[in-house]
Structure 1
Amino acid sequence: MYKGKTVCIVVPAYNEERQIGRVLETMPEYVDKVVVVDDKSTDKTVEVVRGYARKFKDKIVLIQHRKNEGPGGAIASGYEWARDNNFDITAVMAGDAQMDPQELPLFLDVISSGEVDYAKGNRLFTGRAWEIFPKARYLGSAVLSLLTK
């Protein structure tokens, strides 16, 4: 719970067996539920998530798609689960560990205070993005992001 509000984090995942553990291990204590939506992975993502679900008991929910629906479909499934389970705040964090969970309060503060109903971040404009991303991918993503605004 964060400032009196229940928090659900949706984690869309497709073939993230190598990264999903870091996402789940670094999730802040105030997050009430983590909903991992596996989008028909062909690797061991599901097995890795099940292991963490056993470790963290009731904190992790795994939803498995029967067919690959893409990131948007995975996010929609997670949002639907959070809505059906009456969470006050729902956020999305990618399953590839590119987002820093320590930045969640930047969003949660303005949402929990009622200042806004929706907030969106940009992983490309943090100081760590340049260090984490391959340079060509970073530049390509930044250009596409700017062109679509």
Structure 2
Amino acid sequence: MKIAVAIPCYKVTLHVMGVIAAIGPEVEAIYAVDDACPNQSGKFIEEHNIDPRVRVLYNSENRGVGGAIVTAYKAAIADKMDIVVKIDGDGQMNPALLPQFVRPLLRKQADYTKGNRFFRPESVQNMPAVRLFGNAVLSFLTKLSCGYWNSMDPTNGYTAIRTNVLEELPLDKLEHRYFFETDMLFRLNTVRAVVKDVPMDSVYADEESNLKIGKILPEFLRKHLSRLGRRYVYNYLVRDFNVGTVYSLVGVLLVLGGSLFGLLHWISGNAHNQTASSGTVMLAALPIIIGIQCIIAFMHYDVSNVPTEPLSISLDDLQAPVRQSTNTDLDI
């Protein structure tokens, strides 16, 4: 297996050479992507680098972390690499953990691995409370929109992926900026890829984050709702029509029907100064209660529907050369 490392480079000249130096000999290629960095990270690396594995790639315009990684992904596919590991150049991700991210891919236990800073209580002791709460909320939204209910810490950028799985994804359609990691999970779910979390500790260096919560929160909510709707339509209406579909449709219809029935009678009662009878209240409440139970059943079905069979296994079988068999019995 040929392993490559992708490093997005934007204002990381203080740390990137240390990151490159810490990458082990198991890696065959290192792609450092200068994402139109104002500090000219690419030239800085070329001037100070002594590692023959390093190849500097340049984006003509700033495309964000997603755009930088897609550039490296395409180079890795063209160079026939088998696995690509993404490590940020700001020193927050320890390259010594790389074998832990690659191991499940080599054993064909997963198609995509990502870091999880919430796995051990000790790992989050130094994490700011605001980040801890924000990541918990984003993790729940990502579970809803992407379908990986067994995954946590969706914004973690320490990842590894098989290139044959990458070839199944629409790389040019991936989000380019802060929503990139979440969009990757959404795209992976559409091809039924297996995602596995890798425990890691959180590290905060002296870098400044460009992420402004108040600015990106409305955008994140809109994109999560969009992915949730698309995932539901694709998995439960287009690709398959199953018991989860029935639960969800019946549940929504009952909740809406009961709510509308109760609202109309409440408005009518107020207009005529009449109190609703117990039978009317039950006719409104019962569909809502049953509908909520159906929606809960759908959620349970969706949680149990997380992909478990690695996509790379079937892709390896399809890509394996056809072996010509020889019937030696004819020579006997």
| Cα distance change, pair 142–35 in 1 and its aligned pair in 2 (3 A) | farther
Runs of 4+ aligned structure 1 residues displaced above 6 Å come to none
Q: Does 1:30 align with 2:8?
A: no
Aligned residue among 61, 64, 72 for 1:67 = 61
Task: Say which SS state the counterpart of residue 49 (structure 1) adopts.
Answer: helix
Aligned residue among 121, 126, 144 for 2:138 = 144
C-alpha deviation, 1:146, in angstroms: 4.4
Unmatched 5+ stretches in structure 2: 144-332
Which residue is 1:19 aligned to? Answer: 15
C-alpha deviation, 1:48, in angstroms: 2.4
Q: Matches of residues 35-46 of structure 1 in structure 2 within 5 Å?
A: 35-46=31-42
In 1: Cα distance, 2:118 partner to 2:58 partner? 29
CA contact (8 A) 1:11 1:92 kept: yes
Aligned residue among 4, 9, 12 for 1:8 = 4
Q: Does 1:77 align with 2:55?
A: no
Q: Which structure is higher in RCO with an 8 Å CA cutoff and minimum separation 6? A: 1
Which residue is 2:46 aligned to? Answer: 50
- The one-letter code sitting in structure 2 at the alignment partner of 1:33 is A
- The one-letter code sitting in structure 2 at the alignment partner of 1:67 is E
| Cα distance change, pair 141–95 in 1 and its aligned pair in 2 (3 A) | farther
- The one-letter code sitting in structure 2 at the alignment partner of 1:121 is G
| Cα distance change, pair 139–99 in 1 and its aligned pair in 2 (3 A) | farther
Higher mean C-alpha deviation, range 31-40 or range 13-22: 13-22
| Cα distance change, pair 69–6 in 1 and its aligned pair in 2 (3 A) | same
More helix by share: 2
| Cα distance change, pair 123–59 in 1 and its aligned pair in 2 (3 A) | farther
C-alpha deviation, 1:100, in angstroms: 1.1
Which residue is 1:92 aligned to? Answer: 86
Q: Does 1:115 align with 2:109?
A: yes
In 1: Cα distance, 2:18 partner to 2:123 partner? 16
CA contact (8 A) 1:12 1:75 kept: yes
Higher mean C-alpha deviation, range 39-48 or range 136-145: 136-145
| Cα distance change, pair 63–112 in 1 and its aligned pair in 2 (3 A) | same
| Cα distance change, pair 141–51 in 1 and its aligned pair in 2 (3 A) | farther
C-alpha deviation, 1:102, in angstroms: 1.5
- The one-letter code sitting in structure 2 at the alignment partner of 1:116 is A
C-alpha deviation, 1:135, in angstroms: 6.0
CA contact (8 A) 1:9 1:33 kept: yes
RMSD value, Cα: 2.3
Of structures 1 and 2, the larger Rg is shown by 2
CA contact (8 A) 2:32 2:57 kept: yes
Q: TM-score, normalised by structure 1?
A: 0.81
In 2: Cα distance, 1:26 partner to 1:50 partner? 17
In 1: Cα distance, 2:37 partner to 2:116 partner? 25
Percent identical among aligned pairs is: 30
- The one-letter code sitting in structure 1 at the alignment partner of 2:55 is V
